[in-house]
Amino acid sequence: MEFKHRPVMLKQCIDGLQIKPDGIYVDGTLGGAGHSKEIVRKLSDKGLLIGIDRDQEALQAAKQNLKEFPNVKYVHDNHDQIKRILEQLHISQVNGILLDLGVSSYQLDERNRGFSYLGENLLDMRMDKTQELTAKIVVNEYTQQKLANIIYEYGEEKFSRQIAKNICIERKKQQIETTKQLTQIIEKSIPKSKQKDGHPAKRTFQAIRIEVNNEIKPLYQTIIDCIDCLAEGGRLCVITFHSLEDRAVKNAFIQSTGKCTCPSDLPYCVCGAKSRGNIITRKPITATEEELEENTRSKSAKLRIFEKR
């Protein structure tokens, strides 16, 4: 299947990065290179783009999409490892970093990846096919309590306990191996009268995907690490699609401005807060009405920008 992915808030991201022709830029979620193609077009021969993705199919698609540009380095890894990646490339600082979080349109559309609740495919949901943890393991081996917690926290699903309970009942009869099996369990777990806000399996599938790919837990530190890797005046642009992602990014940005976290009754600061820079977007940037009509994926997208100083 062709790797198609329409970049969300493309102009806003490019404007936000304030690209210098001779600079070094990182796309930590390369995907099909929708954003990256616009970044590298603005670079001179002395400039460099580093494209990181944990999905090898995405990397192959990006290489094809960017084949006319010689100044691109491709890295099969996780953006959570940004410091190690740059160290291995012998690069101390970069001028800009872009993170477009969440799952790509291609991954959702490529049914055999198991991300979609439509159709019948093996439960997988791995962005990186080399990792061991899959959706099948989560669904069949996690305890009922752990499943309920994940579905509630990552999916904000009100019927998380009932869904987890029914998953455990069904997996005792036979192993749950396909997306269709899981979808049917979820549909039976939610009252028909409450199945009005989109597909009933949407939130649970999102929650399991986040757990499989560990999308939330390391994010706060990843943002801190990205800011550390920026040169003076460098910018970090982050697009989120989920409230937990956005909260982690927002909190990391606030922490990086040097906001004191000491109790108010202390006579002086002891937390050692140090400013790394400024938040450019006091409120997150959202998609325009025109983009919302053309790209439904942009509906929940929020863009936040931080500048190193």
**C-alpha closest to that of 79 among 31, 40, 140:** 31
Tens digits of residue pLDDT in 154-194 = 999 999 999 999 999 999 999 999 999 999 999 999 998 88
Architecture of domain 10-102+216-308: 3-Layer(aba) Sandwich (3.40)
| Residue with the two structure tokens 């970044």 | 39
- Two structure tokens written together for 171: 């997996």
Q: For residue 298, what is the DSSP state?
A: G
Residue 125 near residue 178 (C-beta atoms within 8 A): no
pLDDT for res 186: 97
- Two structure tokens written together for 309: 């100083």
pLDDT for res 5: 59
* pTM: predicted TM-score of the whole model, two decimal places: 0.88
Give start-end residues of each CATH 3.40.50.150 domain in the chain: 10-102+216-308
Give start-end residues of each CATH 1.10.150.170 domain in the chain: 122-212
Tens digits of residue pLDDT in 5-25 = 578 999 999 999 999 999 999
Residues of the chain with pLDDT under 70: 1-5, 104-111
CA dist list (Å): 36 to 26, 48, 97, 240, 297: 9, 11, 11, 17, 18
pLDDT for res 1: 44
pLDDT for res 217: 93
Architecture of domain 122-212: Orthogonal Bundle (1.10)
